[in-house]
Structure 1
Amino acid sequence: MSPGDEHDGYGGSGQTRTRLPEGNTGDVHGGARRPARGSRSLLTAVGVVVLLVAAIAFANRGGGDPADSSPSSGTPGTSATAPTGTRPVTGTDGTVPTGYAHDEQGAQSAAANYATALGSTDMFQKGPREALVRAVYAPEVADDLVKRLDASYSPELMASLGLENDGNAPSGLTFVSRTIPVGTKIKEYAEGSATVEVWCTGLVGLAGEDSTKPVTSNWFTLTQKLVWSEGDWRISSSSQIEGPTPVNGDNRASIAGEIAAAVEQYGGFTYAR
């Protein structure tokens, strides 16, 4: 897949619908303006991407596109679900929405919600991380992936992010790790498999008055290969590239206290196509 392909289909006729779930998940949309490419910190480079890099290294070892998949137009067109507020899923597995429709729209909804889950702070703690991986990945890849991720989230990595060994933020600081899908696009679809692109923005950093790793934002596109397994869509492999990235606006970067307060006050969404 070439970088140029990632620019096709975004901002088209389809609209992504969101629904605020019951309860506050602690997610927030917004944050400090994205730093210049040359000064991107280790926190941004690792905090948002480390899970997916580790997962890709394992899950893509088999490589190859699904044998029975066929190209799709990549544009939702008239089949896109109207923003009626209808719940896109019927249940949850822990904190992850589950029970997606066995069709293109269900695959897009699954990919968006899985991107959000895998970009959350839960991925930095051993127990919640294993629960998320088992909820969103196909069973045949989950066991080995859990072991590889446990090794990747080492004390050295946590220290580089300014976190304690257990993944918690130091006293007085709030760790922020959010992935916010902007849109989805079907690349390939077959009865038992789908390839979905998810265009995202992300937030990562430590919010608080004494933070030396402030919350920053970035833009990236995930390509998730899904399989229909045990009555739901599950990830078999995924990859990530940078962008498409819009031009920075003129918004004032919020002070650390404002970001920390927003993390506690604003909940996240269940995404649907």
Structure 2
Amino acid sequence: MPSPMAAVDQVMSGIDRRTELREFLRSRRARIRPQDVGLPSHGRRRVPGLRREELAQLAGVSFAYYARLEQGHGATMSAKVLDAVARALCLTAEEHGHLIRLAQPERQSMKQVTPSPQRIRPSVQHLLDAIGVPAYVVSRRLDILGWNRLAAAVFGDWGQLPPEKRNVARLIFLSPETRERFADPGHTALTIASVLRMNAGKSPGDARLFALIQELSQKSEEFRQSWARHEVSCGSVGESVRMRHPVVGEFNLVHEPMALPGGAPMRLETLHAEPGSRSEEALRMLASWENGAAVRPGTERIR
């Protein structure tokens, strides 16, 4: 695994697909112990995880062929080989997709363009206002494009921030006030970094996204450490997130995101409490707490 500073240097010049592919595969090998996949460990190892020849054996390809892939030459590999490598590495669905995007971006039909500034449709804001749980909409860069009053009561009043500061990653890594709203901010931060890395693989030409990653790399040691782990994910889908609020204390919310169709990629993020739980009662208290209601977000463009 590269050092955090090496990972930062890579960000500074944008993601080089060969370098990213090589480091991603190495990081995935390093997390697998030989005994976990039925291979002898052969005693003490200089570096953790599987050797390249062991991974090639598991994937059913020659060592030279796999070594070429790990050197960043994925364009000539067949889909069958990439799928076999993904299985041997025990990749998640998100990691498998990330591998394909790095090795063969043409399979994803991605254009090297920078997405234009985004804003949500008025009907989406009406939907947010009608939802009885904390809900907000984010772009692929994790810019916060819209939210409802209950989201503001749980996370803080985003309407008090300038539009360019309304970004989930920037708030998690750089805002102590936001971090205090999470009972386990370290876990949340690692999740956000993994979402950013996956989205960076999907939008390699997004200059604003890489400017955000560069800013976080320069200002946050925690982000540098998280980024160097090469984790990729869609976020805490279906997982319970432990929140901490100055009025109602700690409570759990279940995170359920969904894609919004039409236009640039956006996600509707919703969080709900288990019926009949203390957490549901905490949400009711926040909903009725007038001082926790935020000003309705405007329609400024997020740049």
Settle same-fold status: TM greater than 0.5.
no
Q: Which has the higher contact order (CA 8 A, sep 6+)?
A: 1
Q: Select the structure that is richer in strand.
A: 1
Smaller-chain TM-score bracket = under 0.3
Return the index of the structure with the highest Cα Rg.
Answer: 2
TM-score, normalisation: structure 1: 0.26
